[in-house]
Each structure stands twice: as structure tokens, then as C-alpha cells.
Structure 1
Amino acid sequence: MRRVTHPPRPDWARRMEEELGFVFHSPDGTVYWDETAHWAFTEDEIDRIEDAADAFHALAIRAADRAVSQNRLAELGIPGYAVAAVADSWRRFREGDPLEAPVYGRLDIAWTGEGVPALLEYNAATPTSLYETAVVQWHWLEETHPEADQFNRLHEALVEAWAARGAAMAGRPIHFTAGDVTEDMATAGYLQAIATEAGLATKLVAIGDIAFDESDRRFYDPDGTPIEALFSLYPVEWMLREDWGVPLIEAVEAGRLVLFEPLWKQLFSKGILAFMYELEPDHPGLLKAGFAPGLFAPGDRVVAKPLAGREGDGVEIVTLGPDGMPAADSVVRQASPGPRIAGDEGWVYQAFTPLAPAPGGHAVAGVWIIGDKAVAMGLREDAGEITGVGSRFVPHLFTPRDA
């Protein structure tokens, strides 16, 4: 595992916009897509990352089973009025209901190339960096290193996943939505295009244009069409704390609305890390995690994460002093927090682990899960120790064993 630097392709920005529709490569003039470098792996290293991701996903499923069977959903930050609906969604999924099958998720993994890959968190409901992983870095690979390979069958796997959802939907259309963020709407549009490619009837609508009719307790798009199925990149955990929450749960429970990702994905808040650690405290790739900082000793470096945080929002890294409280001047916060700092829903505390070093910062591997299998990887670099909205996406490749 090594980072290789080189000049970018000539005129890359214009070509990406015109040929790929990749319009958020340099938001507000900052660097997001960064092809002045790439990460190079061996095939054996890719296998280690893939195997670790598969194992983390399987353990997360067991952890969700534990949370539901022990009636501990409140610890995951799920509001009381939604607990029964989330648990019912989980039980239907475990019984094989195709309408409760997941589409995707992204495991964020720390690895320096030595030792065991470590799980940082599971972004199971609204992960981004999807298009740049599936399409943009593959386009870069084909143009610059056609002799190499890439851990990346994300697009094909998504087509297969949506085709399976289409069979379960039996012709009902799916609306795709996201918040008022260019990257999120572009990602929702990409997922809509994949679903259309897979044969589904689809429609893209901004989250602010969705209306709720009190008379029939249904959601409608701007054309007055009832929304029967909704894929939302606007986090459901945020909706549950807004006016939409109760009507949304009612619609799902009454069968008027199918959610993608399924409602049970609310089990996979940052709190799932604590349940995973309860199950496998000696797992070499699991960092110590729990719902109280008392789990840690003075001198430990600890990462505090809001249960419903997204893209680094609200995350803090602290060193505990002799009294078990954060030592003076030890707190590290995200430099440019996003607009939705969470925390009222609760916190999880996790042992700190070093990230792969990159010039002026660190790198995190995002490994994509489709169904129950790891299918792709994208790497993001950040100037700080907290990977957030200001991170850069850097492509990767690997050398096949027979090359």
C-alpha cells in the first residue's frame, strides 16, 4: 500500500463535467477529486481489505439482532415512537421480505498497510462518494493505467441490486430524493439512473418539494403523484426528529410507503459499534466502543461520535486526563463542521486508531457493501484526523497477481 504522486490529466475538469457529468469535483473552488496522486495496492492487500469488510458487515448484522432481541433500540438513538416500526422492519428483513432488502452501505476502514484493518464506522443508510467510486475513478483507471485493476464492481452490483428490488416492487415507481446539496442530489440522480437501467419506473424530486396530505396521510411529489416508494439520501434519522417523523412511520407501518434504505437501517447508527464490541471484544479489527466514556482509562485517546452524525459532524477526539475527563487543550474537532451538528440523540465513544498517513493529513478507505458482499473501495484524504466534508477523493488501483 503506497501513495504515488503524478501530474493530473490535461483538461481533466472540463472533460469530467462534459463526459461524466461530474460537476462537484471542485466545490466552491476547493479540491475534492484529486488525481495528483493515487493509492497503489497489491492484490493480496485488496483481499485483506475485502475479507475484513465482509466480516465487519456480518458482525454488524449480528449486532443488530442483539439490539432488537434485547429491546435496546433507544441506545441507538431511535425515538421511542419509531422503535416498534424499526424492530418490525428488521424482523421482516430477517424473514426474507424482499421489500426489506438493503441496497448498499459503506464501511469506513482504517489501515496503514500493516496489521489488521480496523473498522471506524458503518455508513449503512446514506453514504456518499458513490459516483466518484463507481464511475469517476474507474474512468481515470482506464485512461491512465489500463494495465492495472481496481477493487470496483460497484456500478454492476448496484444494477443487480435494483433489478432485484424491481421484481419486488411489481411495477410501482420509486421516487429518489436528497437534501439541497449538489453532491447529494447528483448522487441521488445517479442512483435513479441505475434503477432506471435496471428496469424500474423512477422519478427524482427535491426533498423540499415533497408534500404531506393530512386528509389521506400520504406523501406527494410536485406533480400530485402519490409517493409509494422513496429512496432518500436525506437522512431518515433527521426526518424522525422533524415534523415528517410521525407521518413517515405511520405510512410505512400502514404499507402506504416503502423506504429504501429500509427502516431497519436506523439500527446502524454509530451506536452499532458498541453492540459489535459487546459481541466480539477480542476481535483484532474492532476498536473498543461503548456508550459511556467510563469504558476508557486515563491517558486513553478517545473519539466521541454523535449517534446520528454525518460526514464528521460533531465528532471530537480527546485525551482523557487523570480524572477521566478530557485533558486541557486535547480536544480535536472537525475544522469546518457541516450544517447539522448532531448529539442530542446520544453519543458513542470509540478508541482512537491511527489512519494511513497522506501528505498534510490522513486517508480512510470506504468499502462498499451491496447485499452482504464487499464490492468496491474509494479512498478519501483529509487534512485533519476527522474525515469530513472537506475531504479529498483520491483514486486507487492494484496490481493483479499474474501481472
Structure 2
Amino acid sequence: MKRISIAERPDWRTTAEREGFDFHTIEGERYWDERHYYLFSEAQVTRDLEAPTRELHQLCLDAVARVVESEALLHQLAIPPAYFDLIRDSWRRREPHLYARFDFAYHGDGPAKMYEINADTPTSLMEAAAFQLVWLDEQIARGELPAAASQFNAIATDLVAAFEAFRGPAPFYFSAMSGSAEDRGTTEFLRRMAGHAGIATRHIDIEDIGLDAAGRFVDLQGRPIERLFKLHAWEHIFHEPFGQHVAASGTQFVEPAWKAILSNKGILPLLWQFNEGHPNLLPAFVDDRPGAAVPKGWVRKPYFSREGANIEIRTPGDETIAEDGPYTDAPYILQAYSPLPRFGDSYTLVGAWVIGDQASGIGIREDDSLITKDSSRFLPHVVID
């Protein structure tokens, strides 16, 4: 695994906007950064990233099967009791799921260490699935990369295949909160993939979803929403008026309600408890003293933190790195410290995608800090043997 400099395409911004990647720059700073790429060997990808992603995905499904049968574990995950049956029924019906992303610390040798699974509303999808492939094709055409260069990236193809599970005559609605270019870009990309699978789609802002007298969710024209992809986390829905109507609405939700078990960091102590010593897992425990100092060599994370917010690291050498944020109203976990690799001044995180039940590809994020945030840069990767 190497970080290699390369000439950026002079027209990459125009290309990004043509492809619907409007959030390539955030507050004047690069989000997409193609001045470097990460190089992997085929063995590194298949042995150290693809195989663990497949295995960890199965461990997560096994964990869901155990948790749904235990009210004590559902309570431990801070899921409101009013939604226990919704989650159980969702799992027992085997409601289909679409995607998830594992975040790994990987140094190029030895086992990748999983920080967390983003199983409900993971982003960085379009740039991983599509735009880094455009970059690869164009850099090969320009002679900047050899013709044999490839990527671990079947994400878009696997998404089209995964949408086959959602075929039906009714339109498939895709929704996100209004005002976020990234969220709209992600949902529009997913709409295109659904369209390739022959599914009719519509967009609706989450704020515009209504409820009719029969208890059905409806669009602005009063049409029932039979299938809904919502880029809106279940832990929010559980505490909103919207949530109490989900079970009786007749709407098929994507991601399904059973993903609430995997979409908070409370699952990490359970994965460790169920699979202690697994080479790709880090020791993790529920933090029973969240007001105390983080022990040396550990990381404190809230159950429902997003984009690095409210994470506090205390290194074995007693350095503290922390990010502020709004996630202060839920339990915390402690996870063993396993630092990201450093390339120059950048710390590098590998996001490994599961589409349906397939290990489908990776995306790379880097930051000047050990904590990966919403502003962390996205860089492409290449596989060459």
C-alpha cells in the first residue's frame, strides 16, 4: 500500500459536475483530491480487505439474529422499546437491505482493523462507486496510469443487481433532508442505479412526506409511498412523530428497520463479545464511566456519532485528540486504540463497501488528524500487480 503523486486532470471539476458530483469542494476546500492515489496489490485487496469484509458482514448478520431475540440486548443498544417489534418483524420477514460500509485501519500488511460499520445511512458512495472509476479510465487514457491498472470496485454493478430485490410496479421514492448537496447527490446516484434495474423512481424531501387519513405515508400529491429509501437514520426516526406511524404505514423502508441494530456503535462491544479475539475486530466495551477520563490506549465513541463527532482518543503516550459535536445524549463505548496509518502528513482510512451481501469495493478518506470527519478528503485508489 503506497500513496503516489499524480498529475490531476485539468478539467476534473467540470467532469465532476457533469457526473452529478457537485460536492467535490466543501467550504472552499478540496473534498475530492486526485493529486495522489493509493496503490494496492491484488493480494492486499483480496486477502486483507475483500475477505474480511465478507466475513465481518456475516458476523454482523449473525449478531442481528441474536439481538432481535433478546430484549436485554435491544435495551443495551438504546433502542426505544416501542420499536422492538418493528425491528424483530423486519428481520424475521428478511426485509432486503441495500448497502453498508466498514471503516478499516489498514497499513498494507497484517489484518485490517474495523473501527465501525456504517449500516444505515453511509455516504461517500457515489464518489467510491462512480467518480473514482471515471478518474481511473481517464488517467489510463491520458497515459498517466498503465493499461493494466484496475480498482477493487464493483459497487455500481452490484447496486444495480441489488435493486433487483426491489422490483415492483409502484414508484420507488428516494428521500433526504433538503439543503444537503452531498445527501441529494447520494440519493440521485442511487436513483440512477435503480433506474438501470428497470425501477421507476421519484425524489421527495423528507420534510415533504405526509400522512393520510388511512395512516399511509404520501407525497405532495397525496400518492401513497409504497417503497422509500431514506437517507435519514433510524435512531432519529425513533424519536420523531414520523416514527410512530412506520409499522402500520404499509411502506417498505430501505434501509430496513433491522439495520438499527447495526447502525450504532453499541454493536461493537457485542461483536467483540460474540467473536472475542477475531483478528479484524478491536476490543470494545460499553463505557460505564463516560464522565471519567478516557484510559490510555483507548477511544471513547458515542453510540450515534457521525463523521467523527464527539470522538475522543487517548493514545498510549497520553496524547488526547478529540472532536466536538452534538452527540451527547446516548451511551458511549470504549474501543482499543489502533491508529490509522500515516502517509506524509495524512492519516488514511479505508472504507469497504458491502452491496446486498457482496463485498464490492473500497473508497479512501484521509485527514490531517487521526479522526476522520465529514471534511476529510476522498482519494482514488489503484490495484496493480
The reply to whether TM is greater than 0.5 is: yes
The DSSP-based 3-state class of the residue aligned with 1:184 is helix
CA distance in 1 between counterparts of 2:105 and 2:381 reads 15
The DSSP-based 3-state class of the residue aligned with 2:162 is helix
Report the alpha carbon displacement of residue 234 of structure 1 after superposing the two structures with TM: 1.6
Following superposition of structure 1 onto structure 2, how do residues 202-217 of structure 1 map, counting pairs within 5 Å? 202-213=201-212, 215-217=213-215
CA distance in 2 between counterparts of 1:368 and 1:224 reads 36
* 2:142 corresponds to: none
Following superposition of structure 1 onto structure 2, how do residues 78-93 of structure 1 map, counting pairs within 5 Å? 78-93=79-94
What amino acid maps onto 1:259 in structure 2? F
Report the alpha carbon displacement of residue 44 of structure 1 after superposing the two structures with TM: 0.4
Report the alpha carbon displacement of residue 319 of structure 1 after superposing the two structures with TM: 5.5
Report the alpha carbon displacement of residue 147 of structure 1 after superposing the two structures with TM: 2.6
CA distance in 1 between counterparts of 2:3 and 2:288 reads 35
Name whichever of 198-207 and 292-301 sits farther off: 292-301
Q: Is the 8 A contact 2:158 2:358 kept in 1?
A: no
Q: Which runs of 5+ in 2 are unaligned?
A: 140-144
The DSSP-based 3-state class of the residue aligned with 1:366 is strand
* 1:97 corresponds to: none
The DSSP-based 3-state class of the residue aligned with 1:69 is coil
* 1:324 corresponds to: none
User: What whole-Å deviation, never above 9, does each CA across 1:206-227 have from its counterpart, x for those lacking one?
Assistant: 11221223x2222221222121
User: What whole-Å deviation, never above 9, does each CA across 1:376-397 have from its counterpart, x for those lacking one?
Assistant: 1000011211111111000001
CA distance in 2 between counterparts of 1:260 and 1:298 reads 36
* 1:381 corresponds to: 366
Report the alpha carbon displacement of residue 111 of structure 1 after superposing the two structures with TM: 0.5
Q: 1:319 to 1:44 in 2, by over 3 A?
A: closer
Aligned partner of 1:260 among 248, 254, 269: 254
User: What whole-Å deviation, never above 9, does each CA across 1:227-257 have from its counterpart, x for those lacking one?
Assistant: 1111001212211112212122442xxxx11
User: What whole-Å deviation, never above 9, does each CA across 1:354-394 have from its counterpart, x for those lacking one?
Assistant: 11213323111111101222111000011211111111000
Aligned partner of 2:334 among 333, 349, 352: 349
Name whichever of 37-46 and 138-147 sits farther off: 138-147
Name whichever of 230-239 and 312-321 sits farther off: 312-321
* 1:30 corresponds to: 29
- Does residue 283 (structure 1) correspond to residue 278 (structure 2)? The answer is yes
Q: 1:299 to 1:345 in 2, by over 3 A?
A: closer
* 1:96 corresponds to: none
* 1:52 corresponds to: 52
Q: Is the 8 A contact 1:64 1:272 kept in 2?
A: no
- Does residue 194 (structure 1) correspond to residue 193 (structure 2)? The answer is yes
What amino acid maps onto 2:161 in structure 1? E
User: What whole-Å deviation, never above 9, does each CA across 1:127-181 have from its counterpart, x for those lacking one?
Assistant: 1011101110001111113430100011100000002221xxx312211001231
The DSSP-based 3-state class of the residue aligned with 1:85 is helix
Q: 1:294 to 1:116 in 2, by over 3 A?
A: farther
Aligned partner of 1:141 among 127, 136, 145: 136
Q: Is the 8 A contact 1:358 1:381 kept in 2?
A: no
* 1:226 corresponds to: 224
Following superposition of structure 1 onto structure 2, how do residues 104-143 of structure 1 map, counting pairs within 5 Å? 104-143=99-138
What amino acid maps onto 1:60 in structure 2? C
What amino acid maps onto 2:380 in structure 1? P
What amino acid maps onto 2:323 in structure 1? Q
* 1:364 corresponds to: 349
The DSSP-based 3-state class of the residue aligned with 1:244 is helix
Name whichever of 181-190 and 220-229 sits farther off: 220-229
- Does residue 304 (structure 1) correspond to residue 300 (structure 2)? The answer is yes
The DSSP-based 3-state class of the residue aligned with 1:313 is coil
Q: 1:320 to 1:66 in 2, by over 3 A?
A: farther
CA distance in 2 between counterparts of 1:298 and 1:333 reads 11
Q: Is the 8 A contact 1:300 1:319 kept in 2?
A: yes
Aligned partner of 2:379 among 382, 385, 394: 394
**C-alpha RMSD of the superposition:** 2.1
Q: 1:300 to 1:280 in 2, by over 3 A?
A: farther
CA distance in 1 between counterparts of 2:161 and 2:245 reads 31
What amino acid maps onto 1:5 in structure 2? S
CA distance in 2 between counterparts of 1:308 and 1:238 reads 10
What amino acid maps onto 2:104 in structure 1? I
* 1:102 corresponds to: 97
The DSSP-based 3-state class of the residue aligned with 2:309 is coil
User: What whole-Å deviation, never above 9, does each CA across 1:28-70 have from its counterpart, x for those lacking one?
Assistant: 2111000000000000000121011111111111222222233
What amino acid maps onto 1:222 in structure 2? L
Normalising by structure 1, report the TM-score.
0.88
Q: Is the 8 A contact 1:273 1:290 kept in 2?
A: yes
Report the alpha carbon displacement of residue 3 of structure 1 after superposing the two structures with TM: 0.3
User: What whole-Å deviation, never above 9, does each CA across 1:56-110 have from its counterpart, x for those lacking one?
Assistant: 11111122222223321121121111111101211221xxxxxx01111111111
